[in-house]
A and B are shown apart, each in its own frame.
Chain A
Amino acid sequence: MKNSPNRIAATVFGAVYVLVGLLGFAVTGGVDLIATEGGLLLGIFAVNPLHNVAHLAIGGALLIAGLSTVAAAKTVNTIVGAAYLLLGVVGFFIAGTPANILALNTPDHFLHLASAIALLGVGLGAERTARVATA
C-alpha cells in the first residue's frame, strides 16, 4: 500500500471521514435528520444527522477501497472527488434554501472543496496505468 498514492489517500481520507461521521452525532442530538441548520462539529463545521450518515458512507467506501486494490481506490477517489466538487458548486446555490438538507456552511464548503481537489487529483493524476497487481 505504501507505494500507491491512491490507496494511501483513500485510506487516510476514509478513516478521517468515518471519524468525522461518528463525532458528528455528538453534536446533532435533537437536530432533525434533514434540518437546514445543524450543530457545529469542532465549533466550525455545520452538520445534521444526514450529513453524518453521508460522512460515514463516504468514509466507509474510501476505507474499504483503500484497503483493497489500487483500481478500487482510484475509482472511488475519482467518484467521491467529483461528487464533492459538484457539492462544492451546488452547495453555494442551495444554501439558505430548504434544499440545504445537509446543513452546509462555508467551512463545510472549504473542506469539501479541498477533499474534492485532493481526491480528484490523486484519482485522475496518480497511477494512470493502474498497477493493480504490484501495489
Chain B
Amino acid sequence: MHAPATMTRTWPMLAALGGGLVLAALAAGAGGAPRVVLAGLGVAALGWGVLSLRSGRPLAPRTVLATSVASLLLGGVAVATGGLADVPGLPLAAAGLFLAAVALPVARAARGRARDRRGPEASAAARTAHAAPATAPAREARRSLVGLAIGAVLVSALATPALAATEAGRTAVPHGEHGGPGLHGGPGGPGGDGTGADPAPSDPAHDH
C-alpha cells in the first residue's frame, strides 16, 4: 500500500468519531426536532466510526455517503432559512467539516465497490494499476501509527474548540483554570479575583 494511503486509511473513521462527539454535544444544547436529528446523527457517526475501525474498511459506504451528503444539504438549507439560529456556528461548521471528511473517502470506497461489481477483469485491472510494492511490516506499522497520531491530533484540534463552543461546553467554563492565588499562573491569573470561584462568563480569559 502507498505510504499516504497507509497513513490516512483510518482518517474517515477518526473524523466520524470527532463528528459524532460534536453532533452529540450540539444535540445536548438544542431542542425539539433538531435535538432528535442531531443526536441520531451523532450516535450513528460514533457507531459507524467504531465499527468501521474494527472492520478495517468503511462500512456501508453508499448509505454513509447518501446520509452525509443529505445531512450537509439539509444543514445548509436549515442555516440559510434560520432554522438553526439557536445552534452555535463554530460547532456546526466543525460538524460539517467532519461529515465532509467522512463523505469524500467513503465516496471513493463506494466507487471501488461499484468497480468490483462490474466484473473481475475490471477490478483486477484496477488492482494492477494501483499495485504497490510490498512493504516491510515494521515500516507499515510505523506509517500506520504516525498516520493515526496525526489524524487524532487533527480531529482533536477541531473537535475540542467546537465542543467548548457548544451549549454544554459553555456551561463548563470555569473549570480547573481559576484556582486560588499561588496555585498557578493560568490565563485568568492577573485578572482573577483570587477567590478561585470567578463566575464571569464574559471574561476573555474564560474563552476556550
Contact = CB atoms under 8 A, between A and B. Distances in A.
Contacts of A3: 137-138, 141
Question: Helix, strand, loop or mixed for chain B's interface?
Answer: helix
B138 A2 contact: yes
A31 B183 contact: yes
A95 B172 contact: yes
Given A88-B21, A100-B176, A125-B10, A106 B160 contact: yes
A4 B178 CA distance: 42
B50 A118 contact: no
B13 interface: yes
Q: In which size bucket is the chain B interface? A: 35 or more
A114 interface: yes
B184 interface: yes
B35 to A, nearest CB: 15
A120 B151 CA distance: 12
Nearest to A9: B145
B54 A37 contact: no
Interface string B4-35: 00000110011001100100110010000000
Interface residues of A, number: 47
B152 to A, nearest CB: 4
Interface stretch (A17-25, A39-47, A58-66): A39-47
Interface of A: 2-5, 8-9, 27, 30-31, 35-40, 43, 46, 85, 88-89, 91-96, 100, 103-106, 108-111, 113-115, 117-118, 120-122, 124-126, 128
7 closest cross-chain pairs (CB), A and B: A105-B176, A46-B176, A95-B175, A95-B172, A114-B156, A40-B184, A118-B152
